[in-house]
């Protein structure tokens, strides 16, 4: 399919530029190149210590929280999204969420970004990890 072909082409031809952008613009340095399972040669860029994804998220989080966004960007931590709020056309126009104190609130916006931390970041008793891999 042409969409997959285009994605592969972009990922393979632009990844070097992305690594440089992360270094120059964001301050994340992936100075090590390693070979992971299934690779025929070393090609995975990573920091000297730690995991690439964790380093990237940590650095981006600091930039976002300290950035010059003013009221244009709000970061809510340790809240749980209950529902995406949609308009009559089905477009997401906000979220319904529960705060740490248990209050249910709604937030409306032209743009909604969900940064969940992944399912492995969910430490609750109802998490996917607890359900399917409690030994972790």
Could you give phi then psi for residue 90, rounded to 5 degrees? 90, 5
pLDDT digits (tens, 9 = 90+) for 64-86: 888 777 777 777 778 888 999 99
Q: Provide the mean pLDDT of the chain.
A: 84
Q: How confident is the model at residue 120 (pLDDT cuts 50, 70, 90)?
A: low
User: Are 88 and 103 in contact, with CB atoms under 8 Å apart?
Assistant: no
For 57, the 3-state DSSP assignment is helix
Contact 99, 77 (CB under 8 A): no
Instruction: Tell whether the model's pLDDT for residue 87 goes beyond 90.
Output: yes
Q: What does the pLDDT read at residue 127?
A: 81
101 versus 116: the higher-pLDDT residue is: 101
Q: Give yes or no for residue 94 having a pLDDT over 90.
A: yes
Quickly tell me which residue has 């730690």 as its tokens: 50
DSSP assignment string, 35-47: --TT-SS--EEE-
Q: Which range in 19-23, 46-50, 105-109, 123-127 is most confidently predicted, on average pLDDT?
A: 105-109
């Amino acid at each position: 399919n042409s969409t997959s072909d285009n994605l592969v082409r972009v990922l393979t031809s632009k990844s070097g530029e992305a690594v440089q952008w992360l270094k120059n613009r964001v301050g994340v340095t992936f100075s090590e190149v390693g070979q992971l399972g299934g690779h025929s040669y070393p090609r995975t860029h990573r920091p000297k210590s730690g995991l690439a994804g964790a380093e990237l998220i940590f650095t981006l989080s600091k930039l976002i929280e300290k950035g010059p966004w003013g009221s244009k960007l709000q970061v809510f931590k340790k809240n749980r999204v209950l529902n995406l709020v949609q308009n009559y056309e089905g477009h997401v126009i906000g979220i319904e969420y529960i705060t740490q104190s248990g209050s249910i609130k709604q937030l409306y916006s032209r743009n909604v970004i969900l940064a969940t931390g992944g399912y492995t970041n969910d430490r609750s008793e109802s998490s996917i990890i607890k359900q399917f891999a409690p030994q972790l």
